[in-house]
Every structure is written in C-alpha cells, then in structure tokens.
Structure 1
C-alpha cells in the first residue's frame, strides 16, 4: 500500500490543488463554508498521507527529515482545525517534489539516448573475401569492414581503400564533414555521407571513441552526488528543536493546546512555501524568456559559477558553414556564378552546398565533362568553357596565374579562418570565395554581460583547428581557447578546472558535448542541439538563442538571493513567534496565526517579484 500511495504522489498533489481551489471558490464566491471545510479536510488527508509515509521511512533509518516536521505540523494544524494551513502546506510540498522528480527522470534518459545512437551492425569481410552483416559486438581488432554511403562507422579504424566525406559531429561537434582517404582515421558513431570505404578495425566496443563518450556520461552522472537542499540540512537541527520544545512545554504545563500551538507556530509554512515559490517564479520567468531551468539546485549552482566553458560550432557560431567573404575579378559575374553553381550543384560537399545556397536561383548549364582532382577540386567543361573550381593547389596545377591582388586576397581570407574556393574560367581567375561558420550575432556583447555578472573565465574548447579557434577567441575576447579537443580532452580539462576550485558551467549542443555537460557543475545546452545534449544538461537555451545566457545567469543570481531572503523571513518569524509565546503574555493562538499567515503572504509576494525580472544591462 505504501508503494502504491508513493507511486501516485503526483496525482495526489494535483487532486489536492484542485480541492484547494474548490474550497476557496466555495468560501469566497458562494459563501458555502461546509463545502470549503470538507474540501480542505480531504485535501489535507490526501496530501499528508505520502508525506507521512516518507516521514515514517526516514525515521526507520534514524533520519529526522523535513517530511517528519511537515507531517507533525500538518497534523497539529489539522487537530486545531486549521484546515487551510494543512492543505496548502501539503500541496506545495508535494508539488515541489514533483518538479524535482520530473527533472531527474529527464536526466536519466540521456544515457539511454546515447546507447541507442551507437552502431549496432557492421559489414565484416569473411575468409572468402565477401562481406556479411554481423553484430558490432562480433567485430574484433584487425577485422576489415565495409562502410557504405549513409551508414554509421561501426568501430574506430583506418581507411584501407576508397574515399568519402564523413560527418563527425557526434565526435568533434563540427558541422563540416571531413574528407577521408587511404590512411585516414575514422571513428565509431560517425556517418559516411558519400562514398564507400573499407577500414581495418583499430578499437572496438567500449574502447572506441563513441564508447568512451557513453562511459564518460555515465561516470560524470554518477560523480554528481545529490546535494541536500539547505532546508533539509537546516531541518536536521530545526525539527528536533521544535519537537523538544513542544514536548517539554507539554511535560511542564500538561497543556496539550499550548504544545500544539508551539507546533503550529513552528510549522514551517513560510519556510516550505518560500523556497518553492522563489524557485517556481524563477523557472516561470526563465520559461517566458526562452530559458529552461531544471530545478532549484541548478539555480543555486549556476548563481555561483565563475567559469564558463564553450563549445564552438552551434554554440558561439551558427553551426552552418556559409559564404563569408568573396572577391569578384570578372565583369560577367552572373555568367560565372551560373557556371559555378552548375558545377557545385552536382556535389554533396558541404562547401559546395554553401556556395549553391549563396548563389541562389540562377541558370544551370549542362556539365559536359567532369574531372575530379584529388585534394584539389573539380575541372569541368560547360557551354564550351573550361571551368576549374577548387583550392589554390588546383589553380597552380592548371597553370592559372594569380596576380598580386589575388594572392593578397587569398592571404587575407585565410587569416580570417576561411576555407577557400577559387573559380577560374578558360584559364583566368574569376571568383574567390571564403566559407566559414559564422559567429552568432550579438555573442560578443552577450559575453561582456557575463563578465559584468561576475564570470571571471570564458574558455573555448573545440574540435576545430587551433587557427580557427584562436580567431574566434580573439574576436570575442575570450580568456582561453583550445583546439583539436576530443570529448575526453574536454572532460579532462573541465576536471582540471574543478580541481583548482573553479565552479564550471559548460555550454554545448552536440552528442560529443554530453560528457562535458554532465561533468560540469552546470551543463547548458542550446535548444537547437541534440536531444541527448538537452536531456543531459541542467539549463536549456530554447531556440538556440545565445542571448538568453546572460538573462539565465542574472535570473539565477536573483532567484538564489530571493530564496535566501525568504528563508530568513520564514525562520525569523518562527523564532519571534516562539520566543513571544514563551517570554510574553500577549502572544496567543490568534495573534500567532495572523503573524504566521502574514509571513506566508510576504514570502509569496517576495517570490512573485521574480516573474518581472529583467536583466539590467
């Protein structure tokens, strides 16, 4: 029966809430006192039942928890027929537990999501040279595997034959697929977007990079011990003190009503309500401003963050490579763009897609002959013209001259971190394009706001090359920047920061970010990222709106302060009431209850202020 009731705790909370609404409506709208009283009585009994069970279970292991105090206080309030107090306190206590349970369930599902993304099968070469599909667990180091277009790479390995482009976003977080050829390294869980390759298995199973990602997430989540809330720690001393005082008063005076009065006055109505109301108001404000905060512990931890670590692609940058710079050396630019679009329209390469998107609607010519130059680009014949599209090496191979201006433009584009695409027609350079993943608009200003909010260290960790990472860091004024970082490197770096006593938040959007999101004190996911990153995180910036990050930090600081204010108000009022009852003659049940209800109103109004919170700068 206990298990059944605890399993229905959330349902009981919502039923109690509905009964409280009925009670107040009956009382104030229809002046029907009987329905109001019975609704509150039923709500109190329903609400206190799971709390009492939890209190009993805590006492069995010799723990005086907040459940014990709430149970005794509600029982005391019920006995003196203060049904309104007993009903409201139980409802708010259960509703707060519901919010925490929901967050915990989402976090735990992250490991399941990761496991489902792992490759399940592989095409393994048999003794007769044929390839047959086997379970990925049957692959051993040294086996030769075939990977076709669209398939996941089943193990970490080395390319033996074939070429193609692999999307390594699950490992490096970078959006631009990487070209692979003989001798290149490939990783389990990445996707071959085009081409066919044969690989030899170097690492299999849990030893693969993807397997280590899953292991890192599991370890990071296990290492995150559940921190007791301040109220639970406080109640360790507060609860016995109130119980002892009430019992002593009863022993000395034999006045049961006085003892119950002490329990009622000591009932943490404002204390129980104060923290959840701040928490709910803060979470509500965040939701209205595109920030999902997963619980009060997240608010407490994030408010103290002094170091924020960022992934690059999809976080500080848009996550979609686009044409960023261009130089035109031709007069008939529309015709040249038409030739360029015709060539790139037949390619699945991400740079080609960026160019086609940039040019937009244009006339497309029939590509009569195509010659793919390894590591260079494409030479094609279109409408009687020889068109070369590729890098500098291709143009040099084609003996196409580059004047001083063109070479200066190339050097400038490279210095800006661009990938270069040059287009030549009939032996003359016509167009130079620089393609890169662009920094999100307004990010620099948002980072300055974070500094004003007390963040001392802004650090960039990326799987991209160091040159590009340095350019982004310099442009944005970051404290540190490190490139060529695999997921385990990022996690190790975060552990180093934590070992130095820094409170670290990590901001990312990919599966590769999941270990770091779980390991950092606060994981922050961009809402446009993967489901795993979002579920592993503590805070989600909806719609991948980076500008919400300063608001989130400012809001958590305001909410944490508001919680402390409510705790001081609640505890202070209880202390004053109990002291007045013992040391004065004028304190009685009516005056004490009035002060008690006023304290609840004060903490509610104080918490509600958070709904209107806005970042001041």
Structure 2
C-alpha cells in the first residue's frame, strides 16, 4: 500500500447485474449470514446435476442420439421449447441491449441463435437448460442469503419486559428507552444491550462474541441483545436498543462489508473490459477460418465471464461470514487484502496488552512487628469505602487472602493524596508518596518504582507500616500471540502508550518489543504515519476509545474487545468482539488464506476460460457441452471458497441443538 489509504469504491462486487449477466448482484449475497449459500450439500447437489447431464450429453453426442431425436421432432416443437425455457434470460438480454450493454448472456444468446440457424435443435435446448441452471444457482444462493438475514435478525426479541410505575409491562422493543430497566427471566433472550443491576444468570453470548461457553453474569456485568439467559434471571439497565445494540451493528456492518471491495477485485473489472471484445474476435475468427457455425456458437456459449466477477467476492464473503460467527467482525474485503501484507504492528497498552485494571503485586512490611497480611488488612479496611481504582485493587487482594476487614471510622478522602480513617482509636492513612510528609522513600520503594509499579504507603499515627505495589497486569495470552505474529512474518512490533517510561519499559521489555511512552493521541497518529511514509503496511491494535484516531489512520485498525463500544466498531476496520489475543494472529492467518484462495480462483478461471475458448474454436467442444462447461468455473470457485468456512473457528465453536443462537445458523 506504500502508506496510501485505499479509496472506497462505489460499485458493486460483480460490477453490475448487466455487466456480467449473472442475474443477481453479489451485494445480495453479502448478507449477515453468507454461510448459507456455500454449504457442501448445495455444492455437491449442483455438481452432481452438472456432471450427470454432461455425461449424458457426451454419450448422446457420441452415439448420434441427438441427431436421431432431431429428425423425429418437428422444428416448431424445438422452437417452442427453446423460447419457453429461455424467455426469462432472453428478456434480460433484450433489456440490456436496449441500454446498449453487452452481457455474457448476450454472447450465449447469440451462440444459441447460431445453433438454431445450423439446425442443431437438441444443442439449442441443452444450451437453454444450462443457462437456466446457472441462473438458478445464482438466484438460489442469493435467496438463501436473504433468508439468512431474516433468520439472524429474528434472533433478537421483538418485545421486552420493562419495569414501569412499579410493575412489569411487555412493550415492543422500539418503545424501550435508554435508562429503563428490563427484566429477563430464565430461558429468555436479552432484548437490549445493558448493565446488570440485579439478579444472576448463566448467559450464552455466542452470537456476539463467538464464545461457545456460557458466562456467569451478575450486577455490574454487561449483557448484549440476542444473548440467551439459560439459567437465572436478570434486571438490566438499558444502554442501547435495536439497531444501536452490538448485535444490530454487527448485522448492519457485516451486511455492508462487501461495499469495501478488495483492491484485487479491480482485476475482474479490468478483465471484463477486454474479455468480451476478445471473445467476439475469437468467434469471428473461428467462423472466417473454418466456416463452421456450430464451432462459432460454441465459442460464444462457453465465454461466460461471471465466474471471473465472483472469484474474489465469493471468497471474501465466505471469510467474513465464518469470522463473524467467531466474534471477528471484518468490515470488508479490502481490509483482508491489506492485512495479508502487514509488516508493522503497533499496540496500545491499557486495555489492550494489559487487563486495564491494577492488581496488588507486592505487600512489603516496613515494621518488623507486622506481617504482610496485617499491612494489607489495615490498607483494605482504610480503603473499604473508597471508589478509587487502586482501592478496588487493595480490597481485591485482601479478599483473595480471605482477610477480615474492620469497620473504619471517620472516613476521609484527601484528593490527590489518599484516604484517612480512624481504626481502634488510631489514625490510619493510605496513599501516595505525598503522605510521607517529606520523609525519604524506603529503599524498596525505588526498586519497585523502577519496575513500573505504582506505590501505596500505609501509615499509622504518622509512622510508615508498609508499602503496597500495584500494576496493570499483562493479559496471559499476549506473549504467545505476539510470538505467533513474528512467526507469521510481522517485522516490527511496537508499544505506543501515554504512560511514563518506567511503566512502558516494564511491559515491553519482557515481551521483547520496542516502546514509546508519554504519547498523546496525535503522537500515536504521527507514529503510524511515519511508518506508512516508509512504505510499511501498518496495523494498529487498541481498545477503540482513546486510540480511535490511530485506529482509523492505520492501514488496518483492530479494536480489542469491542462488544458494546460504538466508537471501537466505528473507528476500527476489524473488531474482536471478545478479549482474546489469540484472535489477532488468527485474523492475519484468515486474511492470508483468503487472498491465497482468491488468487487460486482467479488463476483457475483464467486457465479454464482460455482452454474453453481454444477447444471451442478448434471444434472440439460442441455447443451443448460448451453450455455445460460454462458452469464449471462457478462450481470450482464455490468449492474452493467453501474451504474458508472450515478455517479454525468452526471446529472450536460448539454447535448445540439446544442453543437457539447456534441452531439458527445454517449447518455446513
């Protein structure tokens, strides 16, 4: 990409309905659940039909059966059969002609006319049959996708049970307001996005996060529309309704994904510009050289450019659909193509590499008469009613050690310093170094700060009793994921953070990655632009809030754990709907598999079409067999692209007939 931003094309994936004569646009297939059109059963069914009919035609041609049948059936019967069977296609060709456009169906219709003029009526009927069969395959796939959209949309409840004026009222979902309280009972689906304010339940969130295992949720937890409360009940404060929910945005964005076409799709556009004139030239040359009208007809019949037009989008849609089922929201094919070329990955720290919440890592007594548990108990008691994030970390550490806290007296929060309480008649304070009132730092404090840790001092009656060290902890799956990115060929990994140098180094050094500290959002954008100017394809991974500008500037922005965050999904090009770092190298593998599949599709289509034209021009391909052969590339592309449905996630996501979310997805 050489640092340049890809422009957003406005045309459809197939060019247009008239441009390729496919009968439907590929935008119809870019449905929220594109998997339906690529089931192995469907592929085998159409493949079997084509194979059987082709074998029968070849056998009949060799035995002369077609010529015998032609002698006994009068030409008006043949003509009526051709006209009745091919009328829907002839009508489209006529409309395109009136708009001065030539389609592949135009060429096939001319070839059909040539077969009729030559008196090859059985061949003409078979040409119509295969034209209609190809048309049916296109329409069947598109209708299946449209039905999948309706099925997926139906997963979200249309009504909600809302608490109003002291009682529960069942209302249409569009009447629910943000801030209201919704009640979800056992066995029901959550109708809204929101925060749990009461109750506990086991919730299946596979539709949103792709995680097959249910999760336990209680007060303070976030839940999403279309998730399924298998056990327990919930009272939920509404934060988003309808199309504004995470589920609604996923449907909308996946449905629109094909608008962001992969740049490689331009190859198909260029191909269409010269392919049809070449076909006409070959057909004309065939007739002038051999004088064989049937050979000329075969050239026109076998020349179907639809397969070239669908070579890229079919593979892209397959990957986007399979990825969405796993909690990987990819906004379009162009991002898959760019991601496959990634050379530099820059990373946010808080909430991305780390969990985004501090934990107590060290408890150091400074009084020989006190143990670490007593120092922690005093600190947790003093912080019992504090709302500071570090106070929560202290209480969490005490809870893990099962320490019993006392009831503090005269609680006082001192802004910028800490808290002070009275406990058993004594003054106990917990806070930063300003609590030391000019006293020097204990030697251990300097050592802990050098490790990038934040310190809390515990002081009783003016005397330091101990030091607590807190740190935002690294996500456990980050080291393995970064190592996998290196194995996949990413040349440079770099941490970009607004934290100080000590904290940045403490996180980056064990991971073996470069780092830059004290960065503002505009500084991160400058770093991304710097690498782009140097010709690198830059991937930015962030939490999608503070990093939104850099996510948008990068060639590919990946938002971590974006479920429920509108800004994350809007800013990033790819959103990971659950906090799972293993998805980062996985999406890179998906991108490379997809582009390899696209290249195979294009190469196969080029070779197949050139071979078909050559055989038809030399007279080795009768018109009836040529009509059957033009369906071959479509079948090959669908079969090759269907392999993308089985990449990684489909084996990991358990499918259960008892799960209404997964049961609604089409089975492969």
Q: Distance in 2 between matches of 1:391 and 1:318?
A: 22
Query: How has the CA–CA distance of structure 1 residues 325 and 84 changed in structure 2, closer, same or farther, with 3 Å as cutoff?
Result: farther
Residue in 2 aligned with 1:466? 501
Question: Could you tell me how far 1:565 is from its partner in structure 2?
Answer: 0.9
Residue in 1 aligned with 2:133? 84
1:389 aligns with 2:445: no
Which whole-Å deviations, capped at 9, do the CAs of 1:478-511 have from their partners, x for residues lacking one?
1x32222222222222122111111111111233
The runs of 5 or more residues in structure 1 that have no matched partner are: 29-37, 100-223
Residue in 2 aligned with 1:536? 571
Contact kept, 8 Å, 1:322 with 1:438, in 2: the verdict is: yes
Q: Distance in 1 between matches of 2:458 and 2:109?
A: 79
Residue in 2 aligned with 1:186? none
Q: Report the number of matched residues.
A: 461
Q: Secondary structure at the match of 2:620?
A: coil
Q: Distance in 1 between matches of 2:562 and 2:28?
A: 30
Contact kept, 8 Å, 1:365 with 1:383, in 2: the verdict is: no
Whose relative contact order is higher, 1 or 2, with alpha carbons under 8 Å and at least 6 apart?
Answer: 2
Q: Secondary structure at the match of 1:544?
A: coil
1:315 aligns with 2:352: yes
Contact kept, 8 Å, 1:369 with 1:380, in 2: the verdict is: yes
Question: Could you tell me how far 1:259 is from its partner in structure 2?
Answer: 5.0
Give the TM-score normalised by structure 2. 0.59
The runs of 5 or more residues in structure 2 that have no matched partner are: 1-15, 18-22, 50-80, 113-125, 149-259, 650-668
Q: Secondary structure at the match of 2:421?
A: strand
RMSD of aligned residue pairs (Cα, Å): 4.6
Residue in 2 aligned with 1:438? 473
After superposing the two structures, state which structure 1 stretch, 522-531 or 272-281, moved more: 272-281
Question: Could you tell me how far 1:549 is from its partner in structure 2?
Answer: 0.7
Question: Could you tell me how far 1:590 is from its partner in structure 2?
Answer: 3.9
1:455 aligns with 2:485: no
Q: Secondary structure at the match of 1:512?
A: coil
Q: Distance in 2 between matches of 1:519 and 1:255?
A: 59
Question: Could you tell me how far 1:434 is from its partner in structure 2?
Answer: 1.4
Which whole-Å deviations, capped at 9, do the CAs of 1:153-172 have from their partners, x for residues lacking one?
xxxxxxxxxxxxxxxxxxxx
Q: Distance in 2 between matches of 1:47 and 1:489?
A: 60
Q: Return the match for 2:328 from 291, 294, 318.
A: 291
Q: Distance in 1 between matches of 2:531 and 2:622?
A: 55
Query: How has the CA–CA distance of structure 1 residues 556 and 297 changed in structure 2, closer, same or farther, with 3 Å as cutoff?
Result: same
Q: Return the match for 1:548 from 564, 569, 583.
A: 583
Q: Return the match for 2:550 from 487, 497, 516.
A: 516
1:378 aligns with 2:427: no
Q: Distance in 1 between matches of 2:602 and 2:37?
A: 24
Query: How has the CA–CA distance of structure 1 residues 410 and 333 changed in structure 2, closer, same or farther, with 3 Å as cutoff?
Result: closer
After superposing the two structures, state which structure 1 stretch, 599-608 or 573-582, moved more: 599-608
1:562 aligns with 2:597: yes
Give matches, 1:477-488, under 5 Å: 477-478=512-513, 480-488=514-522
Give matches, 1:87-236, under 5 Å: 87-89=136-138, 227=263, 229-236=266-273
Residue in 2 aligned with 1:344? 383
Q: Distance in 2 between matches of 1:469 and 1:55?
A: 65
Q: Secondary structure at the match of 2:494?
A: strand
Q: Return the match for 2:607 from 568, 572, 596.
A: 572
Residue in 2 aligned with 1:237? 274
Q: Distance in 2 between matches of 1:346 and 1:604?
A: 61
After superposing the two structures, state which structure 1 stretch, 461-470 or 422-431, moved more: 422-431
Q: Secondary structure at the match of 1:318?
A: strand
Query: How has the CA–CA distance of structure 1 residues 334 and 309 changed in structure 2, closer, same or farther, with 3 Å as cutoff?
Result: closer
Q: Distance in 1 between matches of 2:634 and 2:387?
A: 63
